[in-house]
Amino acid sequence: MNLQPTTYMYYLIYAIFYLLSLLPWFIIYLISDGCYLLIYYVFKYRRQVVVDNLKLAFPDKTEAERTQIGKAFYKGFTDNFVELIKLVSISENEMKQRFVINIEVVNALVAEHERVHLITGHYFNWEFANLAVGLISKYPFVVAYKPVSNKVFNKLMFNIRSRFGTKLVSATNFAKDFQPYAKSKHALILVADQNAANTSKAYWVDFFGKKVPFVKGPERGAKMGNLPIVYTHFYKVKRGYYKGVFELITTTPNDYKDGELTKVLIKKIEDSIKQEPSNYLWSHRRWKHIYNPEKHARLAVD
């Protein structure tokens, strides 16, 4: 059997990850602590972006309080990716113990309405959530993912994330790849706090007191199919253990005017962040676009 070089490399990298995944959790977290020290103190990865974002979101907090949130964020950030190593070999039973969520809400809605849209924000640990919900859901759990440019690591990530049955659909080719699931029972999860690439085709919604352009897709998709919308929040209980909450927003999305559902969902995300400030992905520039009343007023949701 002749294997391509990329196939050899995949098996080599997978073997390394698998062996690392057998390490005890406390060693995994020692690795994460080391990564935190390097990223925060040495490389200062996006430190100014995080500082600016926290100042905008929490102007009433002291600088010391925001610094504390920022450090906790970076610790969660490194945990989020180092914990991925354990997911290579984690058992189904351990996965169920480490990520708990009220899946019965989604199962009941899919049974009645056939398709449901789950809407969330950029919370830690989304890798845990991806595996756990796919494992415990009674119906197919569909996740849009962004392919990694490196073929070896793209295959590795795909196989890890789909271990327990999660259906991955490429975000870059979503319309085509989603077709096998489009008309069957499923729950599709989408991220609502995604910055819109085209600000003239977005809903401009207040997010921590400043208007931000958010993609229309989550709201539009639900309205097109008249599908239930469920807000999805998850957070760290302690290292390696997470809890999630599914909250039904509506089963009749077309009762809302254009943009209103997006506003409701962004408010939900904002409230979740205020409850667990360090649990959010602060390293992305959510407020990079400037609202222009003359250009964007028709897109603003007040």
- Three-state SS sequence of the chain: CCCCHHHHHHHHHHHHHHHHHCCCHHHHHHHHHHHHHHHHHHCCCCHHHHHHHHHHHCCCCCHHHHHHHHHHHHHHHHHHHHHHHHCCCCCHHHHHHHEEECCHHHHHHHHHHCEEEEEECCECCHHHHHHHHHHHCCCCEEEEECCCCCHHHHHHHHHHHCCCCCEEEEHHHHHHHCHHHHCCCEEEEEECCCECCCHHHCEEEEECCEEEEECCHHHHHHHHHCCCEEEEEEEEEECCEEEEEEEEEECCHHHCCCCHHHHHHHHHHHHHHHHCHHHECCCCCCCCCCCCHHHHHHHEEC
Q: Is the pTM of this model over 0.75?
A: yes
pLDDT tens for the chain, 302 residues: list them.
Answer: 455 778 889 999 999 999 999 999 999 999 999 999 999 999 999 999 999 999 999 999 999 999 999 999 999 999 999 999 999 999 999 999 999 999 999 999 999 999 999 999 999 999 999 999 999 999 999 998 889 899 999 999 999 999 999 999 998 888 899 999 998 999 999 998 988 888 988 999 999 999 999 999 899 999 999 999 999 999 999 999 999 999 999 999 999 999 999 999 999 999 999 999 999 999 999 999 999 998 898 989 98
